[in-house]
Structure 1
Amino acid sequence: MALSTEYIAAWQQWHDDRIKDLNRPHGFLSVVCQDWLTEGELYTSEFVPGQWLLKDGEIYYHPDPERAAKGEFLSVDGKQAKGPTHIPHGYNKNSGTGSAVALFYEDLEVETITRVNSRGETIHAIRVRDPQEAARKRFDDIETFPLSEAWVVPAKFVAAHIELHNVPTVDDSVYEASFTIGHIELTINGQAFSLEVSGHRAGSQSTGYFSNYCYVHFGDQTNGKETYGGGRIIKFADQAELEALTALDFNRAVSFPCALSTFVACPSTPAGSRLPFRVPAGEYTPPVPHERISTYKG
């Protein structure tokens, strides 16, 4: 059965909204650094005046006296940081676990992120988002495979006990928290698959789940050729959408943010979610060429 005009219109609106979101002034196109802090050592960013200090697992910002005298301050939760200022840790809308309040220097958005290294140690970094970088990288569209009803596959969500894992990312020796919340079961070409469903890292066992979304992260044989090498994801707004699921729509498969910038460390594809064939549906690789380099040297 051919896709309905209503389906096509809804998909187009969703796709247009995604392109608009990616081109936001402080979206992932705008990230210009991901600089890791060392316990007890002051760090100076090339983008923001002042210094950052990681002390006993907490982050503090120290303003630059000369720049402060000129009225140039980092804004922390809407207030000028005129002296040493503690950066609260918690949920960050952009990067999951990290700084819990808004940080701005002029038109630059600043955030801290928290991850784990290969030794199981908690590590922290500073990211800066520059609207001028987003404007430089701006694109009008991401090419997609033709819409196909064949890739709207009957499926069901099977919830599981929420488990927290530290999973490897595309950045060497950097791991991030991922909450496995269940699986989506489906059959493709007569073969059964059970694709892992992850909660966004803002989720926790105490709050229940994901502060904003959950997703399936899958790989297939288009990766690294037609599509992003790190696999693609299909997002869901919340638990209710998952529980009402009757089909997994691969036409809505998109790339992770690390396809847009080397200064983003996205999780690797779960081993059980790598499909042994092409999935010619969803997004091609975004038109944002960049060299993938490791930002963490620990």
Structure 2
Amino acid sequence: MPTREHLEGQWREWRHAHVARMFRPYGWTSLVAQYWLEAGGRDVTFEMLPGTWSVEDGRIMFTPPASGPNLSVNGEYPTAPIEIIPGRNQTYGHGRSVPVYFGVMEVETILRSNHEGQPLYGIRVRDPLKAMRPEDAGVTAFDYDPAWRIPGFYTPTELTDFEAETVEAGVRESTPRIGTFTFEHKGRSYTLVLIGKQTATGIQPVAHIRDRTSGPITYGAGRVIELQFADEKNTRIDWIDFNYAVALPCAFTNFVTCPVAPPENHLDFEVLAGEKRPAKDVARTMTYKAGENSAS
């Protein structure tokens, strides 16, 4: 096992990079709007965006206005209807989408589903001038403790898409499950369900947990921990390090669809490691209303 000094030094560098990424100009805290379209929605207007928006054959289409301000799509102003491709994710940066701006604001689209399994299409707006600062959010963490770096073993399974409930009532998000990670704590065995985030460099295994600190000490909707594969074939994970637990983006903004932690990942002990609850609370209000922007 590496020395404490090595582990703590690596964690400090990672912690700095994580906070910087969360609070960068177009990071999660810059979100200022989240709009929804349902299948067949046509010629819908949104308060903060120009033109009209539609869903055609499962594609999110933007129709520019006849005159006035326009979107910039991959460096050009469109003159005809154009698809705004989902996939530009500010945390992981993958997908076929291209940069879309409206003035200083960045625009992205996302795919979700409702409780009936029907597709939902989201449009998000990020304003770098409204991005929160770490000191304003009151982001802190426990000191690094190597006792929370716990060995265990990974059991891969066939990748399956699971439609998880989210903090946005009526909206589900697909979370690809890739296997389980089993570890021991104080003589008891625990098995966590792992999801596999698609990233620019491949699959990133993630555990979404709740524990007895969730709410009073850490973020109430739970925290996520990125784990690391120990081999090139992605068949081994040797450790879970709870010092790397961080709050979900919904701790900092209302305009997200963070999944709810699966029941299997509710731990019956306090995880006194990782990121603490932000000092500033976000007032949770819903952005989706069923049937509001669907086919007429």
TM normalised by structure 1 equals 0.88
Instruction: Indicate the residue corresponding to 1:271 in structure 2.
Output: 263
Which residue of the partner structure matches residue 65 of structure 1? 66
Once the two structures are overlaid, the 10-residue window that deviates more, 174-183 or 239-248, is: 239-248
Task: Tell me how far apart the structure 1 counterparts of residues 212 and 251 of structure 2 sit (CA, whole Å).
Answer: 17
Does the alignment pair 1:53 with 2:73? no
Q: For residues 286 and 240 of structure 1, what CA distance do their matches in structure 2 show? A: 35
1:223-234 correspondence to structure 2 within 5 Å: 223-234=214-225
Q: Does 1:284 align with 2:289?
A: no
Q: CA offset at residue 276 of structure 1?
A: 0.7
Q: Paired residue for 1:9? A: 9
What residue in structure 1 maps to residue 175 of structure 2? 178
1:159 alignment partner, one of 156, 164, 184: 156
- 2:72 aligns with 75
The 1:198–1:127 alpha-carbon spacing in structure 2 relative to 1, beyond 3 Å, is: same
Q: 1:83 deviation in Å?
A: 2.1
Structural mapping, 1:101-116, within 5 Å? 101-116=98-113
Deviates further, 145-154 or 240-249: 240-249
The aligned counterpart of 1:19 is 19
User: Residue 43 of structure 2 corresponds to which residue in structure 1?
Assistant: 42
Query: What's the offset of the Cα at 1:147?
Result: 2.0
TM-score by length of structure 2 reads 0.88
- What CA deviation, in whole Å up to 9, does each residue of 1:6-31 have, x standing for no partner? 22111111111111111110000000
Residue identity matched to 1:268: V
- Aligned with 1:85 (options 82, 86, 105): 82
Question: Does the Cα contact within 8 Å between 1:29 and 1:261 map onto a contact in 2?
Answer: yes
Superimposed CA distance per residue, residues 36-69 of structure 1 (whole angstroms, 9 cap, x where no aligned partner): 11433322222222121123322211112231xx
* Larger CA deviation: 117-126 vs 38-47: 38-47
- Give the match for residue 221 of structure 1: 212
1:264 positional shift: 0.5
CA–CA separation in structure 2 for the residues paired with 1:150 and 1:99: 41
CA-to-partner distance for each residue in 1:231-254, whole Å, 9 max, x for gaps? Answer: 111113668486453221101111
Asked if 2 retains the 8 angstrom alpha-carbon contact of 1:99 and 1:111, the reply is no
Give the CA deviation at 1:195.
0.5
Q: Give distance in 1, aligned partners of 2:179 and 2:155.
A: 6
Measured at CA, do residues 290 and 181 of structure 1 come closer, stay the same or move farther in structure 2, by a change above 3 Å?
same
User: CA-atom RMSD, angstroms?
Assistant: 2.5
Q: C-alpha deviations, 1:134-193, integer Å up to 9, x for none?
A: 1xx212462112322221111111111111111111111111111110111101111111
Cα distance change, pair 88–32 in 1 and its aligned pair in 2 (3 A): same
SS in 2 for 1:43: coil
In structure 2, the residue matched to 1:206 is: none
How many residue pairs get matched? Answer: 285
Matched, 1:256 2:248: yes
Name the CA distance, whole Å, in 2 between partners of 1:227 and 1:243: 31
- Give the residue type in structure 2 aligned to 1:235: E
Q: Which one-letter code corresponds to 1:79 in the other structure?
A: E
Identity %: 33
Q: Distance in 2 between matches of 1:123 and 1:239?
A: 37
What's the counterpart of residue 90 of structure 2? 94
Alpha-carbon separation, structure 1, partners of 2:31 and 2:182: 36
Q: Counterpart amino acid of 2:194?
A: V
- Hey, what's the Cα distance between the residues in 1 that align with 2:196 and 2:222? 17
Bigger RCO (CA 8 Å, 6+ sep)? 2
Which of residues 120, 124, 129 is equivalent to 1:123? 120
CA distance in 2, matches of 1:289, 1:74: 32
Q: Deviations over 1:59-94 (max 9, x none)?
A: 211112231xxxx321122221122222235x3233
Distance 2:14 2:27 in 1: 17
